[in-house]
Amino acid sequence: MATWGPPQPKKNVTQKGKRSVKLYITTYTDEFDSERDFLGKEVLPELKSWCASKDLTVKERFVKWGSKSPQYRSVNELEKAQTSIENCYHSNIMPIFINISCESIGWIPMWEEYPDEDVEDYMETYGLLVEDLEVMKAAYRQDNMNSLFLIRDDSFLTEIPESESGYFLKKSTASEKLRLFGDKISEKIPAKRIVKYSATICDSSKNAARKPQLIFSSSFKQTIMDFCKQRISFDYFGEQPRLSTSDNIPSKLEHLEYMQRKSEHVIGRDDILTKIEEYIQIEDKDVPMLILGEAGSGKSSILCKAAFSIYNKVQDEEFPGPNGQGWNVFFHFTGSVPGSDCLETMLKRLLTEMDVLHDNNIPRGVDATAQMCCSLLSNPNTKPMLLFIDALHQFADDQAARVMSWLPRKLAPQVRCVFSILTDSIQHRTLVGRETKPIDCAVPLLHLDSRKKIVTDMLQRYCKTISESQMEKIMRKESSCNPLWLTIVCEELQSVENVEDIDQKIECLPEGLLNLMDAVLKRFETSTENDLSIATICLLEASSSGLREMELRQLLGNSASLMPPSEFDEKEEKESSEKESSKQNLPLSNEKWTALFSKLQPFLTPCGKNGTGRLNLYHQALHQAVQNRYFKQVENEETEGKEDNFYWWHKMLANYFESTDNLERYVEEYLYQLVCLDDKFRLSHCLCDWKVFDVLYNEEYSSKLLKYWRKVGKTLEMISMYDRALKEYEEDETVDEEAISIRYEKVCRVVIQAGKYQEALELLKTALKIEEKELGARPHRMVELYALMAEIYDEKLKLNDFVSPSQIPDLKMTIYYGKKSIALRKTLPGNYHKFKLGMSFMKLAFNMESWEACGGGAELSGEEALAVGNKYIDKALEIFEELNDMGHYAEAQMTKGVLAPRGSMEQLKLYNTAKDLCMQMYGEYHILTSRLYINIGIVYEDNNDYKKAYEYFKKWARVSEEILGPDHPKTQRAKGVLRETRYKRIANSLGELAEGEVLDNTEVDSNDDSEGSTVEPERADIENFQSTHSDLERYCEEDFEVVNEASNLNNSSNNATVEGENEEADNIQSPNTDRNVEVNSQALMNGYSSELPANSSSDGSDDLYDDQSELYAEDYVYNAVSDPVIEEFNVNLDYSDEDDEIVQLSAQEINVGDVEHAAERDNRYEDLREGHESSDSNSDPSSPVDSNRQLSRDRN
């Protein structure tokens, strides 16, 4: 439990001098000599050198367990090792463990995980002592993220002489017995920390003990080095772990295996395969190709065949790309492996394989990921790329999947996309409805010869043939044109013995794929062991993404509760049956499972390598047939009670996975079943389980966690439950203060992602207190907490449409904590902190502009704030240039333009420089480009060049619609600008007035020149550079409705209220200001018009092609250019006295307290509608603001 008192620095945390990194290497005593030698000679020297450069020392210890001669082992050494490890944990230090074992003996069994007799048998076989298990229990701790598990592939033992293989450990009855219980390490440790490595014998060379020596690949060393560096950087300097794909993102290898298997039996498709190759090779194809067809028509097989053929040609350099470059081939087969039907994971796998995703640009949620993919696929600088994606219509039903926002309307010249899709699906209609139509390629009907060959080949696998007349009967069926229908027919015929029965079977074959599937299910119901067959199919259908063999066998083991009780069963009998089923845990016998699997195998798709892993129904049509027959409620007497069956199967799976020890499967299946059962009580308590929380938590955006909470209820309910869970966590005496502080921080980040900033602020204050008072205010932790505090206040500012003096309290706090984080960040080494420092400088520069827009203050005038802001943005530009991060460099250039005099030539040049660089890095269809369009448009508007302003506002509206969708408030705002009187007249003169939109008589008859028209109300000058929580409104449903309502109200009344708003603005501005602005604007107009860039012509022809771009987020590519960057960097920018001119907040703690107090009284963050109103000049007449300096807060 955390206790408040004087700071108590921990050992090796805040003490001066070099800090120690504790490294433990665990191996079997009489084996792994080669591994220990390799680590001592190749890994440790390099690791120590790297640590020395960071003022760290490495203290390694080789821990040996087991022995062929246990009687000679020293218990004393084991006790010392155990004491050393316990001291680390007691001192809040997670030691690094490199645990090495081999496939033959597996991992050491723990008492609580296996039967005692099996553990004792293993100990006796391999000479383990009781102390060995105590030491290794610490090494195998699930909560230690610093443990790496290396398991050797022992296949090389079959290739060496018996005389040499005797030196290596062998399988035994004891080790094989443990395998029956599953791999416990894999169940509790993430797969990314379990690495299999290979070894080979080194030409029969032997060491001094005459043992064979092994050699290892370079990847073995690299794996260990990368892991150690990553964990040390995180623990000692706060650098975030390097990007790794989520554990549930299917790997490329799994898709490759599926593709190869699926493409083996493709018959009669040469024509469409040729069309696909021609589409790829023909230049100037800027739209995707769609392989269209009904269910079972062979779309997936065709795509697999085409992708596999082209992939092999690319690998063999037989399929050249544009300009002699090689193609990058990406393939994804929806539903083929677990997790493959999630759009976000597919897109992240694409970004990762294309080397676009890096440590500092991980997108937040599906919308941000879709935006990044859209930018990638439309960017002319993207590497040549081929995309093969199967079953586009089977992705989860979210907005990005339905509107296809991740796919641009105009592909980059070197990008080709081939998709299979169900005809007339939502995704198909979306793509066909675009201005740029895709290339439709319908799957042709199979020729008669091809159909016959499919039947002949399928039956030959079962050593069966049919007569010519029987073949003709099959071919006369209309559905025989469907390859899947033919395949199922063959499966039905292969079990029929005599000829007469075959004839009768053929006559009874129903037309239509779903009808045939239903007939198969009826056959299962009348066959032997029918309950097992139906239960297996229903359990697979009710699962999230298939079940493992052992899971199925355990679920099927209790025949008494195998099927839903009939309607005639008494309630007591049902409850008794459920209780009995919970007691039974015997799996289905091998004999019964073999017979069952043999019968169902043709209709199941194995998930995983070499057919192992999870089983699932093999086609979407079979899923649909099972749902229709066993899960859906139909209004007739025969199907009464089927709705109950739906809950029966989901409840059966929920009860099973509720008690599983496999955390990965628990999170994947148990939560899914609770959602299906609408069990909000159990779901909410499950989400408060910290093990579940850690699996679902993501620092950038915890999309899955928040999605589950949406099923529970509103945001405040989530916050309330986490509040109680945190209090219980604090009261747990076994939990140390560091864990409590980190837990508060993580929950704080989730609450920020949910859009509740005041509640997040209170959570973060607790984390800060613990760090300061209990843990010695460690720099690498304090810097992140300060930065997060600044982020919260900045997010509160974003709730306002315009900058106004009422926001000064939050703005002061943003600056104050931003400066504190910068001061600490400068002392921390590494590119991670260097990048974060650049972002902080850029954010602080923007805050200076906001300060000036608020009219300045006693601490710092508006002019002084701009001068300081320019200093900070120059430092940010310097950092991004050194990092070779041209994307953020472009963003910083835009921010520098914001700081320049409004409407000046200098501002226009900076914006155009940023735009050109942004186009080069991201292409036109990126959120940063849209922000530059509005900024450039405002410059022209400020200088009364309304035709040029109209051109850029039109681009802004178009790109916003593609990025955010037509109904998004920001899109509506952009379109609202184009509906202003001035711009409607310009559109009308150019013949571009929207269809159905007309000018009223007053507007048409007006003889006033557009340049002399009354000045429209000031619009946004900029949109802030940072894009944090892109899905914030999507989570806070109640808040999002308010935002939309307010935005629609503002847009709908835009033209109606324009004159009134202008009158208010005139009342606020002084006459002198108006005259000066007009004179200066005209002078600027005369001075710079001839120097405009060549590509900024007013004919509107440049860069006006249509494109589906990024959705609502602003995550940019970090290090997009592949040039080398500095590996190590200790920021040492001169921090002169002038830097402290800003708001001397860091030195005036008393003022900060006043600000905090004022912020607590400010309830704008509690209601979005209040936030918008309070930021409007009309709502606070006592705080006049020059409307010429009002800035939009459209920064989400």
Q: Burial letters for 522-532: b for 16+ Cβ neighbours within 10 Å, e otherwise?
A: eebeeeebeeb
Phi, psi of 605 (to 5 degrees): -110, 115
Please write the tens of the pLDDT for every residue from 441-486. 998 888 888 889 888 888 888 888 888 888 898 998 888 888 889 8
Q: Quick one: pLDDT band at residue 17, thresholds 50, 70, 90?
A: low
pLDDT of residue 91: 65
Query: Which stretches of 484-639 are assigned E, i.e. beta strand?
Result: 547-548, 604-606, 614-617
Q: Which of 134-138, 536-540, 809-813 has the lowest mean pLDDT?
A: 134-138
CA angle 382, 386, 390 (to 5 degrees): 130
How would you list the strands of the sheet with 96-102, edge to edge? 56-65, 19-28, 96-102, 147-152, 194-197
Most confident of 793-807, 854-868, 1124-1138: 854-868
Q: Which of 393-397, 630-634, 1113-1117 has the lowest mean pLDDT?
A: 1113-1117
Sign of the Cα torsion 440, 443, 445, 447 reads: positive
Decide if pLDDT at 1110 tops 50: no
Q: Report helix, strand and coil shares of the chain as percent, to nearest 5.
A: 60, 10, 35
**What's the token pair of residue 527?**
């066959």
Model pLDDT, residue 1082: 33
Q: What's the CA gap between 803 and 855, in Å, rounded?
A: 10
Signed CA dihedral, 533, 535, 536, 537: sign only: positive
Q: Above 70 in pLDDT, residue 1150? A: no
Tokens representing 292 are: 């269209």
Give the confidence band of 575 by pLDDT, cuts at 50, 70, 90.
Answer: low
Q: Please say whether the beta carbons of 1021 and 1192 come within 8 A.
A: yes
pLDDT class for 265, splitting at 50, 70, 90? confident
CB hemisphere CA count around 718 (13 angstroms): 26
| Planar angle of CA 685, 690, 695, nearest 5 degrees | 105
Is the model's pLDDT at 765 over the cut of 70? yes
Residues 345-357: tens digit of each pLDDT: 888 889 888 888 7
pLDDT at 1087: 30
pLDDT of residue 219: 81
Distance of alpha carbon 891 from alpha carbon 914, whole angstroms? 7
Closest listed residue to residue 1082, CA positions, set 901, 903, 912, 934: 903
Neighbouring CB atoms inside 10 A of 1007's CB total: 4
**626: pLDDT strictly greater than 70:** yes
Q: Tell me what the mean pLDDT of segment 1035-1063 comes to.
A: 35
Q: State the Cα–Cα distance between residues 789 and 780, nearest whole angstrom.
A: 15
DSSP H helices in 979-1115: 981-989, 1001-1005, 1032-1035, 1037-1052, 1058-1068, 1071-1088
Are 969 and 963 in contact by the 8 Å Cβ rule? The answer is: no
Per DSSP, what are the bridge partners of residue 419? 290, 389
Report the 3 state secondary structure along 1082-1143: HHHHHHHHHHCCCCCCCCCCCCCCCCCCCCCCCCCCCCCCCCCCCCCCECCCCCCHHHHHCC
List, for residues 109-131, the tens digit of each pLDDT value: 888 788 888 889 999 999 998 88
Question: For 286-295, 1002-1011, 1101-1110, which range has the lowest pLDDT when averaged over its residues?
Answer: 1101-1110
At residue 204, the pLDDT reads: 54
On the 0-12 / 13-18 / 19+ scale of CB atoms within 10 A, 325 is exposed
Alpha-helical segments (H) within 494-529: 499-507, 513-526
- What is the predicted pLDDT for the residue at 209? 52
* Rg of the chain, C-alpha, whole Å: 33
Q: Based on the number of CB atoms within 10 Å of its own CB, is 658 exposed (0-12), middle (13-18) or buried (19 or more)?
A: middle
- Report CA-CA distances (Å) from 196 to 71, 201, 250, 359: 32, 17, 18, 25
CB 587 within 8 A of CB 550: yes
Q: 314 vs 238, 306, 319, 321, 351, CA distance in Å?
A: 42, 12, 5, 9, 20
> Do the bridges between strand 212-216 and strand 199-206 make them parallel or antiparallel, or are there none, so unpaired?
antiparallel
pLDDT, greater one: 230 or 1120? 230
Q: What is the CA 334 to chain-centroid distance, rounded?
A: 17
Which helix (H) or strand (E) is 1157 found in, with range?
helix 1149-1161
Asked if residue 771 has pLDDT above 80, the reply is: yes
pLDDT at residue 568 in the model: 53
| Mean pLDDT, residues 564-591 | 61
Helix (H), strand (E) at residue 423: none
- Region 831-857: mean pLDDT is 90
Given a cut of 50, whether residue 582 has pLDDT beyond it is no
Helix 779-797 to helix 757-774 angle (10° resolution) is 160
Q: Which residue has the higher pLDDT, 1018 or 183?
A: 183
Contact (Cβ atoms closer than 8 angstroms) between residue 974 and residue 966: no
Q: What is the three-class DSSP state of 442?
A: strand
Residue 841 pLDDT: 95
Q: Can you tell me the distance from the alpha carbon of 794 to that of 1029, in angstroms, rounded to the nearest whole number?
A: 12
Pairing relation of β-strands 147-152 and 96-102?
Answer: parallel
Interatomic CA distance for residues 1023 and 895, integer angstroms: 9
Q: Tens digit of pLDDT for each residue in 145-161?
A: 889 999 998 888 877 77
Percent of the chain with pLDDT over 70: 75
Spatial contact of 382 and 415, defined as CB atoms under 8 Å apart: yes
Which range is least confidently modeled, 57-61, 87-91, 177-181, 915-919? 87-91
Instruction: Say what percent of the chain tops pLDDT 90.
Output: 26
- Give the DSSP H or E segment for 418: strand 415-422
Between strands 614-617 and 604-606, the pairing is antiparallel
The residue with greater pLDDT, 138 or 1049, is: 138
Three-state SS string across 195-256, please?
EEECEEEEEEEECCCCCEEEEECHHHHHHHHHHHHHHHHHHHHCCCCCCCCCCCCCCHHHHH
Name the CA dihedral angle for 482, 487, 493, 499, rounded to a multiple of 10 degrees. Answer: 60
Average pLDDT over residues 187-203: 81
CA distance 860 to 994: 47
pLDDT at 366: 76
Q: Please, which residues bridge with residue 196 across strands?
A: 151
Task: Please tell me the predicted confidence (pLDDT) of residue 1165.
Answer: 26
pTM, entire model: 0.66
Residue 331, phi then psi, degrees to nearest 5: -135, 145
Which amino acid, 1028? T
305-319 pLDDT per residue, tens: 999 999 999 988 888
Judged by average pLDDT, the poorest of 500-509, 788-797, 903-912, 1103-1112 is 1103-1112
Spatial CA neighbour of 512 closest among 550, 547, 556, 477: 477
Instruction: Please provide the DSSP assignment of 801-867 as one string.
Output: SB--GGGHHHHHHHHHHHHHHHHHHTTSBSHHHHHHHHHHHHHHHHHHHHHHHTT--SSS-HHHHHH
Among residues 423, 656, 386, 682, which one has the least CA distance to residue 539? 656
Residues 6+ apart with CB under 8 A from 905: 1084, 1087, 1088, 1091
Least Cα distance to 677 among 704, 655, 692 occurs for: 655
Quote the Cα angle for 1177-1179-1185, to 5°: 20
CA distance 786 to 765: 10
Mean pLDDT across the stretch 365-379?
Answer: 81
Task: Identify the weakest region by mean pLDDT among 627-641, 820-834, 914-928, 1133-1147.
Answer: 1133-1147
Which letter does DSSP use for residue 509 in this model? P
CA distance 177 to 311: 42
pLDDT value for 1077 = 33
CB 489, CB 456: distance < 8 Å: no
| Of 224 and 1029, the one with more pLDDT | 224
What does the DSSP 8-state code read for residue 1069? S
Q: What is the mean pLDDT of the chain?
A: 76
- DSSP labels, 120-185: HHHHHHHT--HHHHHHHHHHT-TT-TTEEEEEE-GGGGGGS-HHHHTTS----HHHHHHHTT--HH
pLDDT tens digits, one per residue of 472-523: 989 988 888 888 898 889 888 887 877 778 888 888 889 988 899 898 898 8
